Structure 1
């Protein structure tokens, strides 16, 4: 067996890992917490931290990361972080081959040819398949990225206000994006906007939020209300006449930075893969126009987003899951979509925890589980996510939990938005249950007035008021 079999640190090639801090365009990326991914695991490996590397590769293997599977095989072959075990090495190389790595198949066959007894090899492989297999990944997680999006009934935007490009960002040629989710009520009004992520942080957030608040949608009873509408909005200087020529003047500088981006993505940096996926989803960035020289396929953004998700990045896992729930990859796939969202939720991603809680409250599906939903909503609310705080208070009331629990959750949500119509209505319902009709009437009237001020749907409030004596 060759002593030169080395671990993989890219999605395609084997070799020694190199790493350097990126600059300029990438500086904000590395101000975030760096989570375990293929690159960090590879760094641990090359620094001799084999047990830590083995642990990280194992986590990535169960996400379907073929390179991590290959690397576990290498470590078993050479006894790095584990006892040297050719049977285990054979099993993991064979599994990596199942995931599409042809050189892994060659190595597995070489191990088999050099073994006097092939039975232990087959036993190890069959035992591994009971824990992890490509068939399992295919059935539980793998999206069909090349498929056309499924027809999806959704409300159509009938009134739009374009966000104002922040003056300081425009003057300095700063580009970026904001990822939002929001609900649309029965009347077509946008409610409860949630900021998921943005780049650069806080530069464009308020501009898009102020605009989206005024958007209006139209639909029928099948499409409204609509929950968790996702929006990735791009702010690009390419849109402005002042920067029409910036592509040529900045091309040399951009090329240097783009080269660093490509290196980081190919080495397995999940965060960079996620950011590039976002940039590639728009044609209008100067940066994205250069990135497309390297990633030329039509669905490159989806491919990189999946690589980031398989590489353990929760933001990407959540978006992949949400896309599958919407049928972005050929059909609506609830099981796979929820599996990806669960992975993100287990990583502590608050929006995924909230979404999972919401999905488990949908009684039309067999996975309906209000008590599990309660657990996930509590987790998201504990991280300060307002939509989770709101939903938690409503659910506790619906499940007839002790009044103290309901009031604590309600007060926590009201501390964020003291005049939220749904919360004021809930407070009115609590008063009605407590046989305090006058207090209930007063609170319901306040809820109705605030709903009118926000141009939100008022039908639920009016229905409740009609039940009061």
Structure 2
């Protein structure tokens, strides 16, 4: 169990409130309210009721309490009813509530962001894994009883091979990364041509020491060791620490952790993992916002909801999360959808590339090269940056070959053959490279 850094979330906003930093607290609560955070909405109502950081305003307090009630807070409904009962003229109260609903409402949240967490994930039968290698549990981690998880995304090319694996997050950091990469790069998928290539296949892989009797024995010893830490984590999550909520959501998504068994004494509902992930997302944590968005895009909550998914991915991208910026750029390049917007895609791919994300660098180079009247200095800069991370990447070498075709066809062929050799060594699709080589004189 590792420590967590505080971030601007419900907990930090509440601390600012209790320390009398009302202006800062209100600003933080307002940001969280826009994400549909009911506790933040309730706290804004309290500030208007008592005149904390704002001018005391009963009508605004009523409006915000009523909105919090719309989001399911029973205490807020009771307080709003009490204010209405003690007010002779209700019209200002109703006017304030109606005005607030034009800015933020539960209906808007339901239509634009709210995932249906109780729904069964759709079965993605279009893409089926037909070869798998289990990751090898790192010996030092196993001997020391270290458990953890890795969240990664990867692409699947036209042949069904896994390409360009990206580790998004892991816990403990870097403990299991190499093991999962070595396994996943050997996986293979089967699908028809309409479904390949496939981008941003997402996976959370759990490394647990669950082994029958050994599990029962280790659980007894770990229960004593974990109890105090688990209690602290539960308290932090309940108080609104978005990062802790995110990590607990990840632990709860597998039944095989010793820690999970302890956590489930507190969070007993079957979809506790999803509920906590959503709490973390509405609490402003970009990792959780991106995960919710990615889940919506692939139908994790019963059906594919592209608009909601992109809204969450956009929130994470605006929070500076590089993987979300890249994903948004990729999605906006898909011509199947009405939201196709290459200029916006360029903006987000550039933002992610500037943060050093290889997949964004690769995609940016491909996009710049594909444009009519391509800006060749810009293409070369993007290509150079991407090749610095992976000097033998087949797709990048192919672009390099295409750039010099007119000027030096022999050199272009040499580079293309190098790309072909590398693609074969990685067991990747070679069709586009073969076609290019065949077109050369």
The TM-score range, normalised by the shorter chain, is: over 0.9
Contact 1:65 1:311 in 2 (8 A): yes
- Provide Cα deviations, 1:224-260, integer angstroms capped at 9, x if missing partner: 2221111101111224875551001222222222211
Quick check: 1:417 aligned with 2:374? Answer: no
Query: Cα distance 1:221–1:445, how it changes in 2: closer, same or farther (>3 A)?
Result: same
Q: Distance in 1 between matches of 2:211 and 2:341?
A: 47
What's the offset of the Cα at 1:195?
0.6
- Tell me which residue corresponds to 2:377: 404
- Tell me which residue corresponds to 1:426: 399
SS in structure 2 of the partner of residue 183 of structure 1: strand
- Tell me which residue corresponds to 1:253: 225
Quick check: 1:332 aligned with 2:293? Answer: no
Q: Distance in 1 between matches of 2:352 and 2:377?
A: 20
SS in structure 2 of the partner of residue 146 of structure 1: coil
SS in structure 2 of the partner of residue 209 of structure 1: helix
- Tell me which residue corresponds to 1:463: 435
> What is the aligned length?
440
Normalised to the residue count of structure 2, the TM-score between the two structures is: 0.97
Among candidates 191, 200, 206, match of residue 178 of structure 2? 206
Q: Distance in 2 between matches of 1:250 and 1:424?
A: 51
- Tell me which residue corresponds to 2:281: 309
Q: Distance in 1 between matches of 2:402 and 2:310?
A: 33
Q: Distance in 2 between matches of 1:399 and 1:239?
A: 54
| Unaligned 5+ runs, structure 1 | 1-24
Q: Distance in 2 between matches of 1:239 and 1:425?
A: 48
- Provide Cα deviations, 1:319-372, integer angstroms capped at 9, x if missing partner: 101000111101100000000000000000000000000000001100000000
Q: Distance in 2 between matches of 1:421 and 1:65?
A: 45
- Tell me which residue corresponds to 1:321: 293
Q: Distance in 2 between matches of 1:182 and 1:258?
A: 33
Q: Distance in 2 between matches of 1:240 and 1:53?
A: 49
SS in structure 1 of the partner of residue 389 of structure 2: coil
- Provide Cα deviations, 1:188-242, integer angstroms capped at 9, x if missing partner: 1110000100001111111111111111222221332221111101111224875
Within a 5 Å distance, the mapping from 1:63-102 to structure 2 comes to 63-102=35-74
- Tell me which residue corresponds to 2:367: 395
Normalised to the residue count of structure 1, the TM-score between the two structures is: 0.91
What's the offset of the Cα at 1:295?
1.3
SS in structure 1 of the partner of residue 210 of structure 2: helix
Query: Cα distance 1:106–1:241, how it changes in 2: closer, same or farther (>3 A)?
Result: closer
Q: Distance in 1 between matches of 2:33 and 2:56?
A: 19
- Tell me which residue corresponds to 1:20: none
Q: Distance in 2 between matches of 1:157 and 1:292?
A: 31
Within a 5 Å distance, the mapping from 1:128-147 to structure 2 comes to 128-147=100-119
Q: Which aligned segments of 4 or more residues in structure 1 are displaced greater than 6 angstroms?
A: none
What RMSD, in angstroms, separates the aligned Cα atoms of the two structures?
1.3
Contact 1:76 1:82 in 2 (8 A): yes
Among candidates 66, 75, 96, match of residue 124 of structure 1? 96
Contact 1:173 1:243 in 2 (8 A): no
Q: Distance in 1 between matches of 2:139 and 2:216?
A: 17
Contact 1:154 1:226 in 2 (8 A): no
